[in-house]
Amino acid sequence: MLRTNLRIVLVLLLLVSPPLFAQTLIVHPGQDDPQLSRTSLRAIFAMRVPQWPDGSPVRVFVLKDEHPLHVRFCKSVLGMFPYQLRKIWDRQVFSGTGIEPTVVDSEQEMLIRIAETKGAIGYVEHDTIDNRVKALRTAL
């Protein structure tokens, strides 16, 4: 009986708690809160969307290509591998048709840069978010 109750409690905790190692999209606190699809996020992080619906410029921040969080973000949120995203950025930069995102060294730097930059978007581990930034809802 006690084992069954313990299992039920553990299952309920897993259902209501955020997933382990969950990444969350964050934006500048003054940014509107659009609900973005995977397709929209891919376009934003591929640097193909220059502005938000309100007309303000989009500023994309990412971690280094080999950072474990960046790898998970690319695979689980964007549905692509980091090297595919890098290839898109490189092609745009080398052809002169676009720019690459701003690369930061850590989640703490990501928080600071997103908080300071209007129109900014990035990602951090769910438990890293603080009140300097706004967590973004997504329709994935």
HEC string of 12-58? HHHHHCCCCCCEEEEECCCCCCCCEEHHHHHHHHCCCCCECCCCCEC
Least confident interval from 1-15, 78-92, 93-107: 1-15
Q: How far apart are the first and last CA of the chain?
A: 38
Quote the CA–CA distance of 100 and 91 in Å, as a whole number: 10
Bigger pLDDT: 12 vs 8: 8
Bigger pLDDT: 14 vs 43: 43
Neighbours of 77 (CB within 10 A): 18
pTM of the model: 0.82
CATH of domain 21-139: 3.40.190.10
